Amino acid sequence: MKSTLILLLNLICLSVPAQKLEIDTILHFDGIGVHDLYLKSKEWTAHRFNNVSEVISMDIEDNFITGRYTENYKILTGPAIPFYFSFKISVKDGRVRIVIDNINNTYYPVEAYIWNKKGKRRKSYNYMYDGCWASIYDFVSSFDHFVKSVDDW
């Protein structure tokens, strides 16, 4: 519950109007060592992605995993549009840091659509902003839930 609250606070703080869409959050898992968190991270990537070898770009044992992932957001009157983001999952004793950045769609950085030249968010692109944040939130929260899940088979 505490880490979920911290996650939500991080998302709220980062959703204040800014020029970048990115997240840098730390999740706490008391009593879980660096090696176990690394193994859980590897297991989560295997469950989360259809083809892990295409997503993961670097994997340093007991340290971090980096990759690039494609997600779709649905627009009101058309097909879903893919956007891509980079992620890095770093592990330490009892903590995992997830950084998500370099968010782009097929043609341009997503930030180029969302903010105008004055740095204010364009109302016509709220759906894109909300869709990106929903996907990023799902990415981080699914990791959090996966690590906390108990495997009682």
Residue-wise pLDDT for 34-56, tens only, equals 999 999 999 999 888 888 888 88
Asked if 127 contacts 110 with a C-beta cutoff of 8 angstroms, the reply is no
CB atoms within 10 A of CB 68: 14
Burial class of residue 98 (count of CB atoms within 10 Å of its CB; 0-12, 13-18, 19+): buried
Local confidence band at 13 (pLDDT 50, 70, 90 cut-offs): very low
Distances (CA, A) of 68 to 44, 94, 120: 15, 25, 28
* Domain positions in the chain: 2-145
Residue with tokens 């980096």: 66
Distance CA 134, CA 150 (A): 25
What single-letter amino acid sits at 31? G
Q: What is the pLDDT of residue 17?
A: 39
- Separation CA 93–CA 149 (nearest Å): 18
pTM: 0.74
pLDDT at 15 over 50: no
Any residues with CB less than 8 A from the CB of 144 and at least 6 apart, and which?
3, 4, 7, 27
- CB atoms near residue 121 (< 10 Å): 13
- From the list 134, 99, 140, 133, the residue with the least C-alpha distance to 3 is 140
Per-residue pLDDT for 107 more than 90?
no
Class (C level, CATH) for 2-145? alpha beta
Structural element, H or E, at residue 25: strand 23-28
